[in-house]
Amino acid sequence: MRTRFGLLTIFSFIFIIGLVLVLDGCQWYEERYIPMHSPTAETKIFAITATSEPTLDLAIAIPTFTNTPASEPQPPTATPQVVIPTLPHATPTAPRLPVIEPRTRIAYVSSVDGNREVYLVDWDRSGAGQIYRLTEDPAEDTLPSLSPDGWTIAFVSDRSGNREIYLADLWTGARYRLTHDLAEDSNPTWSPDGTKIAFQSDRDGNKEIYIIDVSCAERSDGCPEQVVRITNNKTDDLEPSWSPDGERIAFMSASEGNLEIFVMNMDGYGFRRMTYNSGVDGFPSWSPDGSMLAYHSERQENTDIYIVTLERRKEIRITTNPGDDMAPYWCGDSIVYMASSQDGTFDIYLIQVSSEGPQSDPYILDLTATAAFDGFPTCIISPR
């Protein structure tokens, strides 16, 4: 009996010691296996750090996701489209025109080859010069305007089905379409810095004056967001002409009844009427110093060239030809214009003028002298 009691006592003692060891081991496990998150970019699931053993880091990299929404899809960037030249270089085919000092460069329209095309004459006062054909298209090309540097011509053509404005680069021979509208765009005139063109258009109903950036010729849509309307009358505003200082535009308007010459600021305000006649006054052109305007008027039996001073609105008659003298353009101390000859066709003439009118011995020259129509001249005198 005593032996059985002793064995039981021994087994109980061993059981108690074992139980203590087990409970102590569970506490050791709980103290050392602590779930934790690392503050670093990677998330550590567990860090097992036994105090009496080397540190062991077991890391599982969890991809880091941000809640940034996807960027809005962007439309593809439009590649500037340049109209591939379909017309030949100016004749002769050399891309550079001859340099003549001092050089007067006159662009005009002629039907000498059967269709109205744009031509250019490089001419000096000795009478030497060369004529170049700049356009060649079954459509009508007309109303040229020379850029201030003399190397680009804006002109009007209906080759696309309606009248649009095109640019011709005299250096490369390239042609670019500037305006893109179902309306009629016409009568371009350059800003003095050569960056913009004013023109007339009936795209909003009646004819008004608009301005477009020349860089729009590199875009296939004509960049309508850069076309600025500067007149807003119920009647037609036509034939703009940009002043030499770039601050004003002269134009023809029927806003007060008859078609007369007006001047306005570039913001479309500051209207000033320059002519008061019963006949039509049109095609204004600024003198180089900005003090006078040349224009044609139908106040007599036929159409003649006049000038008006801006300060006093003094009008002076320049031509007294029995035929019609029209579309003047100031060219240094002279005016080029289209005049009807005895055979009923128009030629390009040049006459020297001053603020007092035609000179006592005016220098008059028939620049074209063909049996075809020659008209709508524009001029630039290059210092080079």
Q: Token digits for 148? A: 């201030």
> Are 320 and 182 contained in the same domain?
yes
Question: So what's the pLDDT on residue 104?
Answer: 84
Angstrom distances, CA of residue 172 to CA of 13, 50, 94, 120, 343: 113, 84, 9, 15, 38
Q: Are 262 and 275 in contact (CB under 8 A)?
A: no
**CA dist., res. 151 & res. 96, Å (int):** 10
Domain membership flag for residue 82:
no
Whether residues 51 and 198 fall in one domain: no
Residues 38, 151, single domain; the answer is no
Judge if 56 and 116 occupy the same domain. Answer: no
Number of domains composing the chain: 2
SS3 state of residue 5 = helix
Dist CA 165 CA 90 (whole Å):
19
Sheet arrangement for strand 46-48? 33-35, 46-48, 56-58
Indicate whether 194 and 276 sit together in one domain: yes
Predicted pLDDT at 75: 36
Is 69 inside any structural domain? Answer: no
The model's pTM? 0.71
User: Is 83 part of any domain?
Assistant: no
Residue 330 falls inside a structural domain: yes
- Distance CA(38)–CA(129), nearest Å, equals 88
In angstroms, the Cα distances linking 249 to 130, 184, 263, 292, 357 are 32, 20, 6, 13, 23
Residues 175 and 53 in one domain: no
- Co-location of 143 and 238 in the same domain: yes
pLDDT of residue 302: 87
Domain that holds residue 248: 103-382
The answer as to whether 301 is a domain residue is yes
Same domain? 223 vs 299: yes
Closest CA to 275 of 291, 251, 304: 251
Q: Are residues 41 and 122 in the same domain?
A: no
Mean pLDDT by 10 residues, the chain (384 residues): 53 57 43 32 29 31 34 34 29 33 81 92 68 90 95 94 93 90 94 96 92 89 84 92 97 90 92 91 96 92 92 90 91 88 78 73 67 92 65
Alpha-carbon distance 337 to 322, whole Å?
Answer: 15
CATH number at residue 307: 2.120.10.30
**Residue 42: predicted pLDDT:** 33
Tell me, yes or no, whether 132 and 233 share the same domain: yes
Residue 2 lies in a domain: no
Look at residue 74 and tell me if it is in a domain: no
**Contact status, residue 164 vs residue 181, Cβ threshold 8 Å:** yes
- Indicate if 155 and 246 belong to the same structural domain: yes
Q: In this structure, are 141 and 265 located in the same domain?
A: yes
